[in-house]
Chain A
Amino acid sequence: MKVRLRNPDRELEVSGDRRVHDVLVELGIDPDTVLVIRDRELLTREDRVGEQDLVEIRPVISGGSGRTT
């Protein structure tokens, strides 16, 4: 399956037919820090992804200035 990562944008191939959780573990991604999107739908960790799927993994973290200064 294809995975599209953002910030910076890049694409890679990983094996499918398993849970989203397993894909995130393989990529070393904390599930609480990303949206996982397939066909304009959000997926949870327990959803399964197929070998032919294209999945976007979109970070939710944003920076900018905090009020620490």
Chain B
Amino acid sequence: MSRMRCRRCKAPAVIEIRRHNAAFCRDCFVRHVHEQVRRAIAAFDMFAPDDRILVAVSGGKDSLALWDVLLDLGYDAGGLYVGLGIGEYSTRSGELVHAFAAERGAHLVRVDLAEEFGFDIPTAGRKGSRSTCSVCGLSKRYVFNRAALEHGYDVVATGHNLDDEAATLLGNTLRWQTDYIARQFPVLSSEDGLLKKVKPLYRLSELETAAYAFLRGLDYVVEECPLVAGNTQLRYKEAMNQLEAASPGTKAQFFLSFLERGAPLFERQDEVELHPCERCRQPTTGRFCAFCRARAQVLGERLEDRVVPPTDREVAENVSEEVLPAEIYSRAVEGSR
């Protein structure tokens, strides 16, 4: 049996993508990945050439691949690493992210959960009512938004790939979580204190992001998070992989067709009103945000003990000039800029 050949240049292939019925050599595969990311960015108008993008990097293949691609495409992309405190796994992840940033001369923001917020993920998993993966995801989403705002970024980019999105959609559909389905989009627009969030890898499978990271020589954490065992997301991925093995292209069809034909049906489910959390002033639908509630539970604090009053700007934005003297209104808005 002869070697597979690259679909584009006929050189010996190093990677086969069965859902495209294609194989690629190294250079053509790197170009294929760049093209898929470009298509994703254009299809959803993810960001403009001069936007500052903060890539949420874990040290895994997806986020490092995304950061690498965005830098190669010429974007102003910095990284955000959140120290989760998961022993050696976190130490190693942090080192790899730091090494990548140093090598590429890219800006890296580091936020350590224990230093900044007084708890780490293993502790939160033990003491809180949420599962470890749930509180981890919640904490990361919270820090992404807050850090991006603090450091003047325009958009947050995460490394969610096609497998992540298909598995999540399967899970949400099995439970008919229509509010989550409505928000499962490669772009979430900015609103009321939430920065725009984008997923430029949604057209690429895990096999493609892993192969890209390997072929580009990116040193990433191959080991799985030690706390992830039994994660429901992994079960959905395994189910999708069985369908994919029997019929290549199923995952892409499921998720990409959802974006085209399914998602519009759920748009009206996504109408929620956001206002600042009374404790941290980050946006939430309730009185306190989910992160502050989880944190208070882990630390054994009462949420009401540390209520932070509205900022001048929040006051000004909620009270029109007609009821607030114009001079005070402008001073409040100017002062909070």
Contact = CB atoms under 8 A, between A and B. Distances in A.
Interface residues of A, number: 28
Contacts of B206: 33, 60-62
B275 to A, nearest CB: 22
Q: Which of A33, A47, A58 has the most CB of B within 10 A?
A: A33
B167 interface: yes
B115 interface: no
A19 interface: yes
B14 A44 contact: yes
A64 B225 contact: yes
A47 B3 contact: yes
Contacts, number: 116
Interface residues of B, number: 55
Q: Which of B136, B183, B210, B225 has the most CB of A within 10 A?
A: B210
A46 B206 CA distance: 20
Interface in B216-256: 222-225, 228, 231-234, 236-237, 241, 244-245, 248
A68 B4 CA distance: 38
Given A44-B14, A44-B23, A46-B4, 16 more contacts: A6-B222, A6-B223, A30-B241, A31-B16, A32-B244, A32-B248, A35-B210, A37-B214, A47-B4, A58-B210, A60-B209, A62-B61, A66-B168, A68-B175, A68-B177, A69-B134
Ranked nearest first, the 8 interchain pairs of A and B with the lowest CB-CB distance are: A65-B137, A60-B210, A63-B228, A66-B233, A68-B171, A66-B168, A42-B14, A65-B133
Interface of B: 1-4, 13-16, 18, 23, 58, 60-62, 131, 133-134, 136-138, 140, 163-164, 167-168, 171-172, 175, 177, 180, 183-184, 205-207, 209-211, 214-215, 222-225, 228, 231-234, 236-237, 241, 244-245, 248
